[in-house]
Amino acid sequence: MEKVWLKDYPSGIPAEIDLGEFASIKDILEKSCARFADLPAYSNMGVTLRYRDIDRLSRDFAAFLQGLGLGKGDRVALMMPNILQYPVALFGVLRAGMVAVNVNPLYTARELEHQLSDSGAAAIVIVENFAHTLEQVLEKTPVKTVVMSQIGDLFPWPKRFLVNLAVKHLKKLVPAWRIPAVTAFRDALKIGSGSTLKESPLSHDDLAFLQYTGGTTGVAKGAMLTHGNMVANLQQASAWLSPFSKPAEEIVITALPLYHIFSLTANCLTFMKMGGHNILITNPRDLAGFVKELGKLRFSIITGVNTLFNALLNTPGFERLDFSALKFSLGGGMAVQRAVAENWRKVTGAPLIEAYGLTETSPAVCINPLDLKEYNGSIGLPISSTELSIRGDDNRELGIGQDQVGEICIRGPQVMRGYWNRPDETAKVMTPDGFLRTGDLGYMDERGYTRIVDRKKDMILVSGFNVYPNEVEDVVALHPGVLEAAAVGVPDEKSGEAVKVVVVKKDPALTAEALIAHCRLHLTGYKVPRRVEFRPELPKTNVGKILRRLLRDS
């Protein structure tokens, strides 16, 4: 497809990025830490680490990991919310030449066991609030080293003591756990500080992340994101930002969890490259506390999903905040709704810009111009060095226009190497000419703006997080009172979509409440069905495949 979108690029944005400027994320980090040494890098609960602190602490953690006998390419899992330990541990893993495996702290034991086992993680860094989950599965995984942290471990004394005391004993947020031979996070840093860090040369071909996603099925797979993939996306993102933001000046609100690819790249890494200041919000669900925190800052950029922006708009006091420094807000992970975007601009005076990406693309693919004057219902323009092709089921490229709806396919340096140990699944999503099939249906207009009209996949999007029907159905089917089940997404005012299961009973006494309680034992909260509907039978094709579409439409 001709790159018709280039003529609509804002002034100053290049058609192509310079992939050769940086060899790896490690290269970017070390240069940023030297260039911006005295500037604030990451803050959490009023405590700030400067770039020189990030440099020192991540070096110490990298040396500790190497001292365990771990080497280049070994996988290290990170299971923590947005706290200061996350960037320290992450950059330590990458500087040691190892591969980061991001883990959702809210995973159930079943989900955690799968990810640790599938990735072959040799070590895990975890906040003790979630240690009870790890305890249940540790012996069934390849993990040999557990580094345990408390929320306030990088806070100065006595705040460290007071925060950890409150979390554990006053708020009682740490369920009892017992794991032998753990290493405290602060001890790991101390051990590393007395050790030599052996340089681990990295290139674009080296693996940086195993970022887990459901892909096109319900089986969680690790998208292999190389240093080259991530460097490319950081170059693409910073090129798009450069006409509208300044190095060393931006204060960005980081409320989405850093284990999510959107927040990881758009916030943690992109603004590290630009010398920005990330404000880490540990619990954005505490909206009153979140708004109170925002009131202390003259922030210039905020990222999030549509549901977060909508929730903030409906939180008392938000409308009275100082938005004079806010340049733009970036929405991803799910569609930005017109009503939310228009209300956001009315309240804040700044645009809410929609972007589009996938775990498999590191993630950015399309972004609207950051000086967009009004909501346009589009996911934006393909970013620099990115090709977007609308294709039919036969892989034939379609034309431009609303009547040319097809699957959105992407080719560019940010596209993953493939799925970890799953060449079969990789083959399903990659075309012979190197395009990634996204599973999303859409069309492109004559200016290059793309609009999504439907999802080819049956994925359910709950507050920006993917829920795959197969996984939910497998758990529901484990209940002895269930004969058949199908999971679909239904509209939800708070989360955009919610999970609904349609069930054929085996046990006539089965109740919706009992089934939901069963699901809570095996699924992360956002995957648990909000609605249960019982039917005598499920609609199926003549070969027995359940027709989820008919269940969604009914």
| Domain ranges within the chain, ordered by starting residue | 48-202, 460-553
Q: Which CATH architecture has domain 48-202?
A: 3-Layer(aba) Sandwich (3.40)
Checking if the pLDDT of 216 tops 60, the result is: no
Predicted pLDDT of residue 336: 85
Peptide bond into 529 cis (omega under 30): no
Give the pLDDT confidence of 9-63 residue by residue, as tens digits. 999 999 999 999 999 999 999 999 999 999 999 999 999 999 999 999 999 999 9
Structure tokens given for 133: 């989950």
Q: What is the mean pLDDT of residues 124-136?
A: 98
Identify which of 333-337, 468-472, 521-525 has the greatest average pLDDT.
521-525
Measured CA to CA in angstroms, residue 357 lies from 14, 131, 330, 436, 469 at distances of 19, 32, 12, 12, 21
Whole-number Å distance between alpha carbons of 390 and 398: 6
φ/ψ of 551, rounded to 5, equals -70, -35
Radius of gyration of the chain (CA): 23
- Side by side, which strands form the sheet with 436-444? 387-391, 406-411, 436-444, 450-455
Q: How many CA atoms lie within 13 A of 338 on its CB side?
A: 5
Residue 120 DSSP code: T
Checking if the pLDDT of 460 tops 70, the result is: yes
Whole-number Å distance between alpha carbons of 175 and 169: 10
Percent helix, strand, coil in the chain (nearest 5)?
35, 25, 40
* Count, residues in the chain: 554
pLDDT cut 70: percent of the chain above it: 97
- Cite the beta strand spans of 327-400 per DSSP E: 328-331, 352-357, 364-367, 381-382, 387-391
Give the pLDDT confidence of 382-423 residue by residue, as tens digits. 999 999 999 998 999 999 998 998 999 999 999 999 999 999
Q: Which fold has domain 460-553?
A: GMP Synthetase; Chain A, domain 3 (3.30.300)
Element holding 426 (H helix, E strand): helix 423-429
46: left (phi over 0), alpha (psi -120 to 50) or beta: left
Whole-number Å distance between alpha carbons of 341 and 353: 8
Predicted pLDDT of residue 214: 63
pLDDT class of 215 with cuts at 50, 70, 90: very low
Is-contact 256 357, C-beta < 8 A? no
Give the pLDDT confidence of 445-454 residue by residue, as tens digits. 999 999 988 6
Residue 380 DSSP code: B
Terminal Cα distance for the chain, rounded? 38
pLDDT class of 130 with cuts at 50, 70, 90: very high
Checking if the pLDDT of 158 tops 60, the result is: yes
Predicted pLDDT of residue 218: 56
Q: How many CA atoms lie within 13 A of 270 on its CB side?
A: 31
Q: What is the mean pLDDT of residues 264-274?
A: 98
pLDDT class of 473 with cuts at 50, 70, 90: confident
pLDDT class of 337 with cuts at 50, 70, 90: confident
Average pLDDT in the chain: 94
SS3 221: strand
55: left (phi over 0), alpha (psi -120 to 50) or beta: alpha
List all residues 6 or more positions away from 159 whose beta carbon is below 8 Å from its beta carbon: 47, 152
Checking if the pLDDT of 217 tops 80, the result is: no
Whole-number Å distance between alpha carbons of 536 and 434: 45
SS3 450: strand
Q: Which residue has the higher pLDDT, 466 or 33?
A: 33
- Write the single-letter amino acid at 459: M
**β-pair partners for 462:** 465
